[in-house]
Structure 1
Amino acid sequence: MAGGPAGDVAAVPRDRLNGRRTVVDQRSDPVASPPAAPLAVVLPDAHDTREGHSPVTAHGCWYPSADPTGGQVAFICNRGGVPQLWTGSADGDDVHLLDTGLDPVIEASWSPDGRWIAYTTAPGGGEHTRVLCVRPDGGDRRILAGALAGSTAYLGRWTRDGSAIAITTTDPLVGLPVTELGAGAPSGPYQEVPPSEWTSRDGPAVLLGGGGEVGIPLPGTGPPGAPVSTVLRPPTPAPYEPSPEPHLTGGGLAAYLTDPAGVRPPELLATEPAGATLRVCDTTPDGRLVLLLRGPRGGREAVVLRTDSGETACTVPVADGDPWIGRFSPDGRMLYLRSDADREFAALVAVELGPDGAGRRRRVIAQRDGVDLELLSVRDDGRSAVLAWNVRGRTELEVLALPVPARHRVGDGVGAQVDGGHAPPELAPRSLPLTHEVVTRISPAGPRGLALAVSGSVRRPGIWHGADGGSPVRTPWSSRDEDAVAPGRPPERPEHLRLQARDGLELGGWYYRAPGRDPDYHAPCVVHLHGGPEQQERPVFDPLYHELLGHGLDVFAPDVRGSLGAGRSFVNADLGAGRFAAIDDVADCAAHVVTLGLADPRRLAVMGHSYGGYLTLASLVWHPELFRTGVSVCGMSDFLTFFAGTEPWIARSAAMKYGHPERDRDLLHTLSPMSRIDELRVPLLAVHGEHDTNVPLGESEQMVRAARQRGFPAELLVLPNEGHEFRNTRSRVLFRRTAAAWIERHLAA
Structure 2
Amino acid sequence: MQLTDFLKVDTATNPHFHPHHSTKLVYLNNATGFPQAYEYDRDSQQATRLVETSERIMLATYIENDLLIGMDYGVNEKQQLYLWKNNEDLVPLTNDPAHIHHYGGVSPNKEWIAWSSNRRHEQFFDVYIQHVSTRDIQCVYKDDARYDPVCFHPDGHHLLIKKTNTNLDNDLGLLHLETKELEWLTPHESEASFTDAAFSNDGKSLYLLTNVGRDHTGIARLQLQSKELEWLYTGDWDYEALTLSHDGTYLAYAVNEGGVSHAFLTHLPSQTEKKLPIQSGVVTSFTFSHDVTQLVFSLDGAANPAALWCYHLKEQTVTKLANSTRKHTVQEILREPEQLSFTSSDGETIPSFYYKPDGDGPYPTVIFVHGGPESQIRSVYNPFLQYFVSQGFAVCTPNVRGSTGYGKRYHHLDDKRKRMDAVRDLNELAEWLKTEGFAHPNKIAVMGRSYGGFMVLAAITHYPTQWAAAIDIVGISSFKSFLENTSIWRRKVREDEYGSLEEDRDFFDEIDPIHKVDDIQAPLLVLHGRNDPRVPISEAEQIVEQLKHRHHPVDSLYFENEGHFFVRYENNLAAYEKSFSFLRKWL
- TM-score for both structures, normalised by structure 2: 0.93
Cα distance change on mapping 1:91 and 1:340 into 2, 3 Å: farther
Q: 1:321 to 1:731 in 2, by over 3 A?
A: farther
Amino acid at match of 1:253: F
Equivalence map 1:225-244=2 (5 Å): none
Q: Is the 8 A contact 1:384 1:401 kept in 2?
A: yes
Structure-2 residue corresponding to 1:467: 312
Q: 2:251 is matched with which residue?
A: 385
Q: Which of 428, 444, 447 pairs up with 2:288?
A: 444
Once residues 638 and 161 of structure 1 are traced to their aligned partners in structure 2, the CA distance between those partners, rounded to angstroms, is 50
Query: Does the aligned pair in 1 maintain the 2:170–2:194 contact within 8 Å?
Result: no
Distance 2:233 2:218 in 1: 6
Structure 1 residue 665 corresponds to structure 2 residue 505? yes
1:72 aligned residue: 24
**Larger radius of gyration between Structure 1 and Structure 2:** 1
The answer to whether 1:431 aligns with 2:275 is yes
Partner of 2:299: 454
Which residue of structure 1 aligns with residue 35 of structure 2? 83
Query: What whole-Å deviation, never above 9, does each CA across 1:228-255 have from its counterpart, x for those lacking one?
Result: xxxxxxxxxxxxxxxxxxxxx8432122
Q: After the TM superposition, which of the residue ranges 533-542 and 86-95 deviates more from structure 2?
A: 86-95
The aligned residue for residue 158 of structure 1 is: 106
Residue 624 of structure 1 deviates from its aligned partner by 0.5
Aligned-partner residue type, residue 286 of structure 1: D
Output one character per residue of 1:434-483: Cα deviation in whole Å (capped at 9) or x when no partner.
Answer: 13421111122223122201111212211112334623311112336xx4
Deviation at 1:433, TM superposition (A): 1.2
- Matching of residues 676-715 of structure 1 within 5 Å: 676-715=516-555
Match of 2:260 in 1: 394
Which amino acid letter does the alignment assign opposite residue 503 of structure 1?
D
Letter of the aligned partner of 1:666 in structure 2? D
1:287 is displaced (CA, Å) by: 2.5
Choose which of 194, 204, 210 in structure 2 pairs with 1:333: 204
Alignment pair present for 1:287 and 2:156 = yes
**Whole-Å separation in 2 of the counterparts to 1:484 and 1:609:** 27
Within a 5 Å distance, the mapping from 1:137-286 to structure 2 comes to: 137-139=86-88, 141-145=90-94, 147-171=95-119, 250-261=122-133, 263=134, 265-275=136-146, 278-286=147-155
> Hey, what's the Cα distance between the residues in 1 that align with 2:516 and 2:52?
47
What is the CA–CA distance in structure 1 between the aligned matches of 2:123 and 2:180, rounded to whole Å? 21
Q: Does 1:501 align with 2:344?
A: yes
1:307–1:386 Cα change, 3 Å? same
Relative to 1, partners in 2 of residues 1:395 and 1:486: Cα closer, same or farther, differing over 3 Å? closer
1:130 aligned onto 2:80: yes
Give the equivalent residue in structure 1 for 2:186: 316
How much does 1:696 deviate? 0.8
2: CA distance, partners of 1:300 / 1:150: 26
1:83 CA drift (Å):
1.0
Question: Could you tell me which residue of structure 2 aligns to residue 572 of structure 1?
Answer: 412
The letter for the 2-side match of 1:386 is A
Displacement of 1:323 in angstroms is: 9.1
Superposed counterparts of 1:401-440, under 5 Å? 401-402=267-268, 425-440=269-284
Give 1:380 shift.
2.7
Aligned AA for 1:728? R
| Counterpart secondary structure, 1:466 | strand
User: Secondary structure, in 3 states, of the residue corresponding to 2:333?
Assistant: coil
Report Cα offsets for 1:407-430 as digits up to 9, x if no partner.
xxxxxxxxxxxxxxxxxx414111
Residue 149 of structure 1 deviates from its aligned partner by: 4.5
1:517 to 347, 354, 359: 359
Query: Is 340-349 or 450-459 further displaced after alignment?
Result: 450-459
Shift of 1:736: 1.4
Aligned CA distance change for structure 1 residues 74 and 298 (closer, same or farther; 3 Å): same
Tell me, what secondary structure is at the counterpart of 1:547?
helix
What is the distance in 2 between the residues matched to 1:676 and 1:560? Answer: 23
Question: Within 1, Cα distance between the matches of 2:92 and 2:318?
Answer: 34
Letter in 1 for 2:30: N
- Please name the residue that 1:553 is paired with: 393
Shift of 1:57: 7.3
Matched with 1:225 is none
Q: How far apart, CA to CA, are the structure 2 residues paired with 1:161 and 1:364?
A: 31
Paired residues in the alignment total 576
Distance 1:732 1:321 in 2: 37
Provide the residue aligned with 1:231 in structure 2.
Answer: none
Does residue 727 in structure 1 map to residue 567 in structure 2? yes
8 Å CA contact retained: 1:300, 1:317? no
How many angstroms apart in 1 are the aligned matches of 2:478 and 2:511? Answer: 8
The one of the two structures with greater contact order (alpha-carbon pairs below 8 A, sep at least 6) is: 1
- Larger CA deviation: 691-700 vs 644-653: 644-653
2:10 to 54, 59, 62: 59
| Deviation for aligned residue 1:294 | 2.3
Task: Report the counterpart of residue 363 of structure 1 in structure 2.
Answer: 230
What is the alpha-carbon distance in structure 2 between the residues aligned to residue 57 and residue 289 of structure 1?
A: 45
Deviations 1:476-505 (A, max 9, x none): 12336xx44447x61111111011121111
The structure in which a higher percent of residues are strand is 2
Taking structure 1 as reference, are residues 317 and 689 closer, same or farther at Cα in structure 2, changes over 3 Å only? farther
- SS of the aligned residue for 1:156 comes to strand
Shift in CA distance, 445/668, structure 1 to aligned 2, threshold 3 Å:
farther
Q: Is it true that 1:305 corresponds to 2:257 in the alignment?
A: no
Q: CA deviation at 1:317?
A: 7.2
Q: C-alpha separation between the residues in 1 aligned to 2:43 and 2:255?
A: 27
CA change 1:149–1:440 in 2 (3 A) is closer
Q: Deviations over 1:277-318 (max 9, x none)?
A: x32111112123322222121222323333343333124279
Q: Is the Cα–Cα contact under 8 Å of residues 486 and 535 in structure 2 kept in the other structure?
A: yes
- 1:100 aligned partner: 52
- Aligned partners of 2:139, 2:254: CA distance in 1, in Å? 33
Whether contact under 8 Å (1:157, 1:282) holds in the other structure is yes
Give the drift of 1:264: 5.4
C-alpha spacing 1:57/1:152, structure 2 compared with 1 (3 Å): closer
Counterpart contact for 1:453–1:461, Cα < 8 Å? yes
Tell me the amino acid that sits aligned with residue 184 of structure 2. Answer: C
Hey, what's the Cα distance between the residues in 1 that align with 2:213 and 2:194? 19
1:420 corresponding residue in structure 2? none
Relative to structure 2, which stretch is displaced further, 732-741 or 288-297? Answer: 288-297
User: Structure 2: any 5+ residue segments left out of the alignment?
Assistant: 1-6
> In 2, are the aligned partners of 1:434 and 1:471 still within 8 Å (CA)?
no
Contact 1:328 1:335 in 2 (8 A): yes
Residue identity opposite 2:278 in structure 1? L
Give the secondary-structure state (helix, strand or coil) at the position aligned to 1:667: helix
- Structure-2 separation of matches of 1:550 and 1:571: 33
Instruction: Tell me if the contact between 2:254 and 2:264 (Cα under 8 Å) persists in the aligned partners.
Output: yes
Return the match for 1:348 from 199, 215, 219. 219
CA distance in 1, matches of 2:187, 2:448: 30
Contact 1:121 1:130 in 2 (8 A): yes
CA distance in 1, matches of 2:469, 2:244: 47
Q: What is the DSSP-based 3-state SS (H/G/I as helix, E as strand, rest coil) of the residue aligned with 1:640?
A: helix
Please give the residue correspondences for 1:544-693 in structure 2 after superposition, counting only pairs within 5 Å. Answer: 544-693=384-533
Q: Distance in 2 between matches of 1:250 and 1:170?
A: 5
Counterpart CA distance in 1 for 2:398 and 2:330 is 27
Counterpart code for 2:125: L
Checking the alignment, whether the CA contact within 8 Å between 1:250 and 1:273 is kept in structure 2 is no
- Between the two proteins, what is the percent identity of the paired residues? 24
C-alpha distance in 2, partners of 1:282/1:431?
28
Letter in 2 for 1:491: L
- Deviation of the 1:381 alpha carbon: 2.5
> What per-residue deviation string (whole Å, max 9, x for no partner) do you get for residues 112-159 of structure 1?
xx2222121121222222112213x423621211x3342121221122
Shift of 1:324: 5.4
Contact 1:575–1:658 under 8 Å retained in 2: yes
In the alignment, the residues of structure 1 paired with residue 414 and residue 485 of structure 2 have an alpha-carbon distance, to the nearest angstrom, of 23
Is residue 102–residue 116 contact of structure 2 (8 Å, CA) maintained in 1? yes
Distance 1:669 1:138, change over 3 A: farther
